[in-house]
Amino acid sequence: MKSLTVMGALTLALAALVFVPSSAGAFALSGIGGRMGGVDPDGAAGAVTVGGHLEFEESGSRVHLQPGVMFWSTNGLSDVNPNFDLMYHFAPAGRVGPYVGAGAGMHFYSFDVPGPSNSNTDLGADLFGGVLIPSSSLRLFVEGRLVATDRSQAMITGGVTLPFHH
């Protein structure tokens, strides 16, 4: 029940960010995207991870705010990870280039085993970097990510962001 309350609060906070009107010089919703890749969680077998994100940016800035969620499952263990990342890309908008970022997230672990405690919640920190490959209609990326939590994770993902043209 506690995890449902936390997820509800995070969803409402994210919705509030999306629907708040933006003024000049403020971060505005600029895209929506998804990702898929491999994750190697500490103490568990490797798994496929999938996720989605929103992207907010300030016009003319190389800083992006990316709230999102990721999910993986392997051998009866799964993780739902709502997160909030800050990304900085080194190349000007519209050019291929590297980026780095950091963020924080909640990890809602679920264990499919009999017993009184079949779930766990943990706070984690994210460090990541990758290459952004923009085109006129989408932005592709390849990313490496380290997650520091009680069950540390290393992952390689690729994905796409569909930009909103203003």
- State pLDDT tens for residues 139-157: 999 999 999 998 899 999 9
As a whole number of Å, the end-to-end CA separation of the chain is 40
Backbone angles phi, psi at 18, to 5 degrees: -70, -40
| C-beta of residue 59 within 8 angstroms of C-beta of residue 69 | no
Task: Output the six-digit token pair for 38.
Answer: 């491999």
Task: Report pLDDT digits (tens) over 89-136.
Answer: 999 878 999 999 999 999 999 887 666 657 889 999 999 999 999 998
Q: What is the mean pLDDT of residues 28-33?
A: 94
> Which structural domains are found in the chain, ordered by start?
30-163 (2.40.160.20)
Output the pLDDT for position 154: 97
Task: Report pLDDT digits (tens) over 35-92.
Answer: 999 999 988 889 999 999 999 998 888 999 999 999 999 988 899 999 999 999 999 8
- The pTM assigned to this predicted structure is 0.79
Contacts of 1 (CB under 8 A, 6+ apart): none
Give the separation between CA 11 and CA 69, rounded to whole angstroms.
10
Between these two residues, 131 and 19, which has the higher pLDDT value? Answer: 131
What secondary structure does DSSP assign to 15-50, as a single string?
Answer: HHHHHSPP-TTS-EEEEEEEEEEEEEETTS--EEEE
Contacts of 45 (CB under 8 A, 6+ apart): 74, 75
Of 36, 120, 34, whose CA–CA distance to 78 is shortest? 120
| C-beta of residue 43 within 8 angstroms of C-beta of residue 165 | no
- The band of 22, judged by pLDDT with boundaries at 50, 70 and 90, is very low
